[in-house]
């Protein structure tokens, strides 16, 4: 009878239980092929870090717990500020009044979570996007929290995405706040929700809107169509009554095909008598300070132009 080949070391992080199910003896876990990561968790020697696989192993070794906070935000591909966007910190949460192993290098939390505030992604249990948004309220600035909230309530475009419904609604975010009235960060989350709007397609678009509000400008409308048709050119934001269109062209707009489309879009607005202001990553870098000055100047011109009918209230005209 030929000897059976030795079990292979998994190519990703694994738990003691997973090693046993493969028939790996304990002594193999102490050899040079394997590195110990934390209590009951191992990885193959030289493994290149991959967040989802690391989170999966941590979750498998922590019954009843779920991946949360910035780790969940990264796995959900939620908008995060640069200092968190590339972080490989691992956060895990478990219900209050339960015990668990303390793990070096792991950020552990105990909290109350309702059954519909966590979800399964294959072998991985993690907080839902809405609950992740709430958990991040104690860490993120107000502006960053609004950016994430705008992302959650954004209406997806079916031709570009494999979904038709937003990740959350204003009502569902308000409901989760009402459930957790004493959670750290709840005040900031409430303030952020008051500023969350449907219609922002990116973090910079949200930051532009917030910069305008902070500068005392009237809050703009979002996703303005030039005509009442599905195929009409649209502006990211602006003032229909003043015929002012605001566009944010991010990095993907550098593509030549996209640039051609952008030029056609802007020409259509200008041919219809609109003022078109286009902003870029340079404007993000200066906090949209120059952008708000340009918008103020355009509004003053619109207010004094007799060919444009008045559409602002007197209160807004003083902004």
Question: In angstroms, rounded to a whole number, what is the distance separating the alpha carbons of residues 190 and 152?
Answer: 15
- Per-residue pLDDT for 2 more than 70? no
DSSP 40: T
79 lies in the same domain as 128: yes
Is position 124 within any domain?
Answer: yes
- 249, 280 in Cβ contact below 8 A? yes
Is position 19 within any domain?
Answer: yes
105 lies in the same domain as 207: no
- Name 1's bridge partners: none
Q: Provide mean pLDDT across the span 130-152.
A: 98
78 lies in the same domain as 191: yes
184 lies in the same domain as 73: yes
Name the more confident of 257 and 84: 84
Residue 4's pLDDT is 62
Q: Domain span at residue 293?
A: 203-317
219 lies in the same domain as 188: no
Contacts of 57 (CB under 8 A, 6+ apart): 12, 13, 14, 15, 37, 41, 43
138 lies in the same domain as 231: no
In angstroms, how far is CA 69 from the centroid of its own chain?
Answer: 12
Q: Using alpha carbons only, give the angle 269, 275, 279 rounded to the nearest 5 degrees.
A: 95
292, two tokens: 């708000």
**How far from 223 is each of 45, 82, 167, 197, 263, CA to CA, in Å?**
50, 26, 19, 11, 17
- Per-residue pLDDT for 130 more than 50? yes
Q: What is the CATH number of the domain that holds 276?
A: 3.40.960
Backbone angles phi, psi at 171, to 5 degrees: -65, -40
Q: Provide mean pLDDT across the span 160-182.
A: 94
- Per-residue pLDDT for 306 more than 60? no
108 lies in the same domain as 212: no
**How far from 303 is each of 11, 93, 212, 282, 295, CA to CA, in Å?**
65, 54, 17, 28, 12
Name the more confident of 305 and 296: 296
pTM of the model: 0.88
Q: Which residue has the tokens 């602006």?
A: 238
- Per-residue pLDDT for 52 more than 90? yes
Backbone angles phi, psi at 279, to 5 degrees: -120, 155
């Amino acid at each position: 009878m030929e000897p059976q080949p030795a079990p292979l070391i998994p190519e990703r992080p694994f738990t003691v239980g997973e090693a046993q199910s493969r028939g790996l003896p304990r002594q193999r876990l102490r050899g040079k092929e394997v590195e110990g990561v934390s209590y009951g968790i191992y990885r193959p020697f030289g493994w290149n870090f991959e967040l989802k696989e690391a989170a999966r192993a941590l979750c498998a070794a922590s019954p009843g717990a779920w991946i949360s906070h910035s780790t969940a935000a990264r796995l959900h591909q939620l908008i995060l500020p640069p200092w968190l966007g590339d972080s490989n910190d691992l956060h895990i949460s478990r219900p209050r009044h339960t015990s668990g192993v303390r793990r070096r290098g792991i950020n552990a939390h105990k909290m109350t979570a309702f059954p519909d505030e966590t979800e399964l992604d294959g072998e991985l249990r993690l907080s839902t996007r809405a609950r992740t948004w709430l958990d991040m309220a104690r860490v993120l600035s107000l502006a960053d929290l609004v950016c994430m909230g705008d992302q959650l309530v954004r209406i997806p475009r079916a031709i570009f995405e494999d979904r038709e419904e937003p990740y959350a609604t204003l009502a569902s975010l308000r409901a989760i706040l009402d459930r957790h009235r004493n959670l750290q960060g709840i005040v900031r989350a409430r303030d952020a929700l008051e500023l969350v709007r449907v219609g922002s397609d990116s973090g910079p678009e949200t930051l532009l809107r917030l910069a305008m509000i902070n500068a005392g400008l009237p809050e703009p409308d979002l996703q303005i169509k030039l005509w009442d048709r599905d195929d009409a050119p649209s502006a990211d934001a602006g003032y229909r009554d003043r015929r002012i269109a605001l566009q944010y062209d991010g990095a993907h707009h550098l593509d030549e095909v996209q640039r051609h489309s952008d030029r056609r879009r802007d020409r259509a607005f200008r041919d219809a008598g609109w003022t078109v202001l286009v902003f870029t990553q340079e404007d993000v870098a200066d906090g949209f300070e120059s952008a708000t000055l340009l918008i103020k100047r355009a509004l003053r011109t619109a207010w004094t132009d007799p060919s444009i009918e008045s559409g602002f209230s007197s209160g807004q005209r003083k902004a």
